[in-house]
């Protein structure tokens, strides 16, 4: 992949963030997602690549754009797999909460897991704890391993989980161990990334969330030297059939980093839509707006924070009348 793609992808996530941020707190998650998707799709036409969506807004008959299998880019440049979540946290934006992102990940063709749209059990950690955790191990054992790797007491750890009834047992085990917990309404891509940045105060992610989001988070953590492990959790016969179609007969199979994103190169880009621990959200200032983005490349290990200022005079389509 070409180095210049990194900054090109930031333009894509910035456009999605600017469009969806207009819907913050307005109680309409579908319109927020539509705005992000349309803006992202428009900018993709200018990107020098031959991309194919492997994780997107759904199958062709479910989504009008950014559907699985759609071709992206201007037809020139490297052939790549594309994983997108135009708005990671539609409910977050609708309610005006924290940590909504516009997200893209790309890798060389054939290197991203075509994760089905179902739940995935996950564990994610930053660089210090790589190789020390095991998704099949008891919660207490993983807490002890992360605490030791980070030279902390268990009581000092912060574990993030989606605030769901299905996590009640995990939450109880974390509390019994003495660790602290941050419960999230949505947005486990941001939560997984936060494990790799000391300033966020997050040490580990546990629990189940979307499998496509697991792949996106794995690309980000690959760039950061972190780790994510996952196990698919089909909920019905249709999802079981999708697993079998992927050649997955053993549902206890653990997906490690090289299963989720192969090779030594990948690019991850995200722009904050609402404020979070890692990125600031969009700020509208009359005739201009500001964004904050993160873009990373696995091969070089480069991590960039990009502050953008945008003239809104030239983007009347982003203004809600």
What CATH number should be reported for the domain holding residue 151? 3.40.190.90
Single out the residue in 234, 260, 286 at which a domain terminates: 260
pTM above 0.85?
Answer: yes
Question: Do residue 85 and residue 38 come from a single domain?
Answer: yes
Question: Do residue 102 and residue 128 come from a single domain?
Answer: no
Question: Do residue 16 and residue 89 come from a single domain?
Answer: yes
CATH code of the domain containing 274: 3.30.540.10
Q: What pLDDT does 314 receive?
A: 60
Q: What pLDDT does 58 receive?
A: 86
Question: Do residue 124 and residue 98 come from a single domain?
Answer: no
Q: What pLDDT does 247 receive?
A: 81
For the chain, list residues with pLDDT below 70.
1, 314-321
Q: CA gyration radius for the chain? A: 19
Question: Do residue 23 and residue 104 come from a single domain?
Answer: yes
**What is the number of structural domains in the chain?**
2
Number of residues that this document lists for the chain: 321
Q: 111 vs 6, 79, 224, 256, 261, CA distance in Å?
A: 17, 11, 18, 13, 6
Q: What pLDDT does 320 receive?
A: 40
Give residue-wise pLDDT tens across range 239-276. 999 888 878 888 899 999 999 999 999 999 999 999 99
Question: Do residue 217 and residue 197 come from a single domain?
Answer: yes
Question: Do residue 234 and residue 293 come from a single domain?
Answer: no
Question: Do residue 191 and residue 84 come from a single domain?
Answer: no
Q: Can you tell me the distance from the alpha carbon of 150 to that of 293, in angstroms, rounded to the nearest whole number?
A: 27
Q: What pLDDT does 315 receive?
A: 53
- Going along the chain, which residue ranges are E strands? 50-55, 71-72, 79-88, 101-108, 119-125, 158-162, 180-184, 204-210, 227-233, 266-272, 283-284, 288-297, 302-311
Tokens of 41: 């799709």
Question: Do residue 299 and residue 313 come from a single domain?
Answer: yes
Residue range of the domain that includes 242: 119-260
3-state secondary structure of 120: strand
Collect all residues with Cβ–Cβ distance below 8 Å to 72 and sequence separation of at least 6.
44, 45, 47, 49, 51, 52, 53, 66, 82
- Percent of the chain's residues with pLDDT above 90: 90
Question: Do residue 247 and residue 290 come from a single domain?
Answer: no
Given phi > 0 = left and psi -120 to 50 = alpha, else beta, which region is 172?
alpha
């Amino acid at each position: 992949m070409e180095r210049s793609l990194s900054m090109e992808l930031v333009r894509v996530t910035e456009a999605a963030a600017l469009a969806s941020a207009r819907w913050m707190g307005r109680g309409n998650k579908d319109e927020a997602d539509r705005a992000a998707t349309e803006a992202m799709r428009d900018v993709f036409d200018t990107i020098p690549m031959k991309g194919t969506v492997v994780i997107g807004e759904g199958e062709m008959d479910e989504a009008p754009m950014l559907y699985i299998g759609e071709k992206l880019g201007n037809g020139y440049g490297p052939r790549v797999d594309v994983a997108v979540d135009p708005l990671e946290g539609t409910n977050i934006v609708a309610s005006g909460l924290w940590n909504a992102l516009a997200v893209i990940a790309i890798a060389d063709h054939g290197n991203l897991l075509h994760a089905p749209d179902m739940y995935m059990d996950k564990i994610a950690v930053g660089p210090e704890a790589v190789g020390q955790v095991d998704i099949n191990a008891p919660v207490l054992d993983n807490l002890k391993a992360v605490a030791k790797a980070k030279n902390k007491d268990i009581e000092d750890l912060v574990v993030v989980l989606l605030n769901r009834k299905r996590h009640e047992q995990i939450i109880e085990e974390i509390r019994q161990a003495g660790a602290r917990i941050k419960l999230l309404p949505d947005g486990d891509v941001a939560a997984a990334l936060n494990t790799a940045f000391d300033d966020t105060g997050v040490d580990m992610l546990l629990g189940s969330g979307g499998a496509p989001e697991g792949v996106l988070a794995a690309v980000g953590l690959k760039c950061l030297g972190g780790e994510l492990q996952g196990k698919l959790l089909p909920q019905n016969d249709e999802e079981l059939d999708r697993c079998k179609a992927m050649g997955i007969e053993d549902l206890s199979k653990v997906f490690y980093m090289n299963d989720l994103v192969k090779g030594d190169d990948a690019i991850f880009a995200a722009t904050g839509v609402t404020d979070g621990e890692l990125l600031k959200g969009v700020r509208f200032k009359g005739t201009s707006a500001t964004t904050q983005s993160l873009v990373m490349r696995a091969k070089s290990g480069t991590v960039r924070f990009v502050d953008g200022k945008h003239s809104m005079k030239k983007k009347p389509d982003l203004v809600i009348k």
